[in-house]
């Protein structure tokens, strides 16, 4: 089995490096400085247990890959890039191969299923970062991360079992689930705080924003009849995924904070807080806090605002004074 990792950033980079280091055939798809760094010197994965270095083939586009029927594709781009990534895969001849969405939010799988019949979802619990080309970091121990995977919209098959086996062998603990979207909606509850984390900075006081965001999200889930798992307090994390420091690599925060720090020009807030806003509008539930944070996400991304440059008092004034 050959694994194609489309999007070798934080999550995709940790997964690609771990798999390649464990002996799995990996092809990465990356861009810019990250692509050049991997092609020139491979990818270093920094972890609490020590650094590993992996070298694997990496290209700039799916069109450079001769896809085989037994390839497995891991989609690890941000949601705002999913449409183009899938279009590129389709143009390169991908058809029946399993596509696993290793992404935040709940929209990617639906987008993928429009074009591909063999779509799988993944709930990714991996405290990873990518800020420097040629290097990714995970702060997870004893495992690099923990995943739940399953077929979308439900069930599971041999592709899930096979991928779980190779990921576990690469020190990424992975479980197969027949109700994967319940876990993904649970993870979305956590990700609604991403914009707060990006604006205030990792480790700072978030005030009552997490509780208020969760309350809005749970209200729209109930109105929409959506069930979810409480993944934040998953007891399996005690055994497989504790967070700790990595020397010389202080944590910046979640994926949104990292996008701001790298100045990518886009963030995924429209598909995190925006999902709650959409559900609220569909089912008549007010979501003022998620709506305001979604708007702030657009504003700070457009202005190129740096991560962690706002105080709690300033954010409260922007949200509650609006």
- Tallying the residues shown for the chain, one arrives at 322
Q: What share of the chain is helix, strand, coil (3-state, %, to 5)?
A: 45, 20, 35
Which pLDDT tens digit goes with each residue over 62-79?
Answer: 999 999 999 999 999 999
Q: What is the pTM of this model?
A: 0.95
**pLDDT tens-digit series, residues 250-261:** 888 888 888 888
CATH superfamily to which 2-320 belongs: NAD(P)-binding Rossmann-like Domain (3.40.50.720)
| Percentage with pLDDT > 70 across the chain | 100
Q: What would you measure as the largest C-alpha separation in the chain, in angstroms?
A: 56
d(CA 43, CA 249): 16
Give the start-to-end residue ranges of the domains of the chain: 2-320
Average model confidence (pLDDT) across the chain: 95
The whole-angstrom distance between residue 31's C-alpha and the CA centroid of its chain comes to: 17
* Element (DSSP H or E) covering residue 169: helix 158-169
Q: At what angle are helices 10-21 and 158-169 packed, to 10 degrees?
A: 80
**pLDDT mean over 265-288:** 95
Cis amide leading into 74 (omega within 30): no
The 10 Å CB-count burial string (b at 16+, else e) for 59-81 is beebeebebeeebbbbbbbbbbb
Determine the pLDDT at residue 260: 85
- Report which DSSP code applies to 272: T
């Amino acid at each position: 089995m050959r694994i194609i990792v489309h999007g070798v950033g934080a999550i995709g980079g940790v997964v690609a490096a771990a798999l390649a280091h464990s002996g799995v055939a990996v092809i990465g798809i990356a861009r810019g400085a990250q692509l050049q760094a991997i092609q020139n010197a491979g990818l270093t994965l920094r972890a609490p247990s020590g650094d590993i270095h992996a070298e694997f083939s990496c290209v700039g586009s799916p069109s450079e890959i001769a896809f085989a029927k037994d390839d497995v594709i891991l989609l690890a781009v941000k949601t705002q890039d999913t449409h183009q990534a899938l279009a590129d895969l389709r143009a390169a001849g991908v058809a029946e191969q399993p596509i696993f969405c290793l992404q935040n939010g709940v929209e990617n799988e639906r987008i993928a299923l429009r074009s591909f019949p063999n779509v799988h979802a993944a709930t990714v619990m991996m405290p990873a970062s990518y800020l420097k080309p040629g290097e990714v970091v995970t702060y997870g121990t004893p495992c690099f991360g923990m995943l739940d995977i399953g077929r979308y919209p439900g069930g599971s098959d041999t592709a899930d079992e096979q991928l779980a086996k190779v990921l576990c062998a690469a020190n990424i603990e992975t479980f197969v689930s027949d109700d994967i979207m319940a876990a993904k909606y649970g993870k979305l509850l956590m990700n609604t705080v991403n914009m707060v984390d990006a604006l205030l900075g990792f480790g700072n006081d978030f005030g009552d924003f997490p509780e208020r965001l969760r309350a809005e999200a749970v209200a729209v889930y109930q109105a929409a009849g959506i069930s979810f798992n409480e993944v934040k307090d998953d007891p399996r994390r005690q055994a497989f995924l504790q967070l700790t420091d990595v020397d010389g690599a202080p944590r910046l925060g979640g994926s949104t904070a990292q996008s701001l720090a790298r100045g990518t020009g886009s963030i995924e807030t429209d598909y995190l807080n925006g999902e709650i806003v959409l559900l609220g509008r569909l089912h008549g539930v007010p979501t003022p806090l998620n709506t305001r944070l979604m708007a702030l996400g657009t504003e700070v991304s457009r202005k190129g605002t740096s991560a962690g440059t706002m105080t709690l008092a300033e954010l409260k004034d922007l949200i509650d004074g609006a």
